[in-house]
Amino acid sequence: MKLFKDILLALSIVVLLSVVFGYFYFDKKFSPEKNYLVVNNESGKVLMKWETKEKEALLLPIHFGSDTITYYLQFDTGSPSTIFYKKSISKIGQISVNKNIAKTSFKIGNCEVKSNQFKIIDFGKNLEKDNLKIIGTIGTDIIESRKTIINFKENYVVFNLNSEPENLKGKTFDFKFKKRKIIIPAELDSKEEKFLYDSGASGFELLTNKEIWTKLKLKNSKINTEKGKSWDNILTTYTAKTNKKIEFNNTKIMLHEITYVEGYSKTQYYLMEFSGMSGMLGNKIFEKKQLYIDAENMKMNIE
């Protein structure tokens, strides 16, 4: 009997140590690098530009110093850091490059963004023949500890707001900005859920796991299957019709489509599970809405 108790105690200790080790391992793995951005001035209204008619990528215009050329960064709230594409910036003299690190400053509206630690990834293409000069991604480091408006109704973004808009006082609700990820609480199908807002998944309303997708899609819905690429991953999306409502605080939005994805890396799946999230929200669900994100006080509003 004593031997059994000793074995049981030893197993309990091993399980406990595994849980503790797993927590710290994933906590460290999913922690973004330090935020090196210096952000000055309120941007004013920065008009969105869409890469395609299907609104597959949300682009924001930027300028370097006195250079009159307009470049674009994809606004991706799924990315915790602002990055440049190696091939796309190769002939931009205002960007100083040292291996995989860039030093520069640029204007987005009236807002100046600068850093000597911009990451560079081996992505993109030479811009000489491109009318639309996309040179990188602007991530949630520009949102961290600041107030932001993303207005899909009128097609603009405002960064680094000086104060909360008067009409929103008392209408905000809590959200989480964990690991520089925007995690929004919502009620879906009478259940409290948590969703990652990923503006990089622009053409989708709600991406979730196959179990929830199967439960919430309309039974006779045609399934639209598409293949696409997310960085180096080849993804397959399965989109079906649904008629469920998703509720954010006091704002209800009718869902028209629900999607699940195959092909994400194990790391991305672990991130979702580790954070307790049920899926991702793309821009399409907010196409007639305005988002106010206060990542200083962890308050937001959807109207």
Block mean pLDDT (10 aa), the chain, length 303: 45 39 42 94 97 88 93 96 95 94 98 97 76 93 98 97 86 94 95 94 90 94 85 82 94 95 66 74 95 97 94
In a domain, 264, yes or no: yes
Query: Residue 63: how many CA atoms within 13 Å on its side-chain side?
Result: 12
Q: Which residue has the tokens 């006082």?
A: 169
Query: Same domain for 236 and 275?
Result: yes
Query: Same domain for 175 and 270?
Result: yes
Query: Same domain for 226 and 135?
Result: no
Of the three residues 142, 173, 200, the one that is the final residue of a domain is 142
In a domain, 73, yes or no: yes
Q: What range does the domain containing 225 cover?
A: 165-302
3-state SS, residue 286? helix
Report helix, strand and coil shares of the chain as percent, to nearest 5: 20, 40, 40
In a domain, 182, yes or no: yes
Task: Give the pLDDT score at 17.
Answer: 36
Kindly report the backbone phi and psi dihedral angles of residue 13, in degrees, each rounded to the nearest multiple of 5, phi listed first: -65, -40
pTM: 0.86
Q: Which residue has the tokens 């080790």?
A: 21
Query: Same domain for 135 and 234?
Result: no
Query: Same domain for 177 and 295?
Result: yes
3-state SS, residue 216? helix
Residue 291: exposed, middle, or buried by beta-carbon count in 10 A (0-12, 13-18, 19+)? buried
Of the three residues 84, 108, 142, the one that is the final residue of a domain is 142
114 within 8 A of 105, measured Cβ to Cβ: yes
Task: Give the pLDDT score at 54.
Answer: 79
Task: Give the pLDDT score at 250.
Answer: 84
> Based on C-alpha coordinates, what's the Rg of the chain?
21
Query: Same domain for 108 and 199?
Result: no
Query: Same domain for 76 and 129?
Result: yes
Query: Same domain for 138 and 61?
Result: yes
Task: Give the pLDDT score at 285.
Answer: 96
In a domain, 10, yes or no: no
Of the three residues 94, 127, 142, the one that is the final residue of a domain is 142
Kindly report the backbone phi and psi dihedral angles of residue 86, in degrees, each rounded to the nearest multiple of 5, phi listed first: -55, -50
Task: Give the pLDDT score at 268.
Answer: 58
Q: Residues of 15-31 as b/e, b for ≥16 C-beta within 10 angstroms?
A: eeeeeeeeeeebeeebe
Task: Give the pLDDT score at 155.
Answer: 97
**DSSP class per residue in 9-51:** HHHHHHHHHHHHHHHHHHHHHTPPPP---EEES----EE-EES
In the DSSP assignment, the letter for residue 67 is -
Task: Give the pLDDT score at 31.
Answer: 82
Task: Give the pLDDT score at 124.
Answer: 76
